[in-house]
Amino acid sequence: MEPRSTRAVERKTMTNCNPEQKVKLVQVPEGGLWGCDQVAAYLNVSKSWVWKQCREKLGLPFIELGARNYRFDPAAVKAWVAQSHQQGQVG
């Protein structure tokens, strides 16, 4: 049995109605995943900036749940900010 702090969520990658679809499990933190609004508020940026980071794969860590459907692990976003600060890229 999994610990209560995380849960596994099944994500299906749709390719072409193939019954042998790829399935990837994602660990979801206790507080859940963030949406674009929460990431934008945390980083103090616009939602369009967050979407651009995802679309162009510019470094912001995200989980793609489908076409234009992104979620964010809060710990990964915070780690990315810390790493970017160390490299002098954010701020």
Q: Does any domain span residue 26? A: yes
Under 8 Å between Cβ of 34 and 77: yes
Q: Residue 45: which domain range?
A: 7-86
| Higher-scoring residue by pLDDT: 63, 3 | 63
Query: What's the pLDDT at 20?
Result: 60
Q: Does any domain span residue 91? A: no
E strand spans, the chain:
7-13, 22-28, 63-66, 69-71
Mean pLDDT for the stretch of residues 28-43? 88
Q: Does any domain span residue 54? A: yes
| Higher-scoring residue by pLDDT: 49, 64 | 49
Question: How many domains, in total, are found in the chain?
Answer: 1
Q: Does any domain span residue 11? A: yes
Q: Does any domain span residue 36? A: yes
Q: Does any domain span residue 68? A: yes
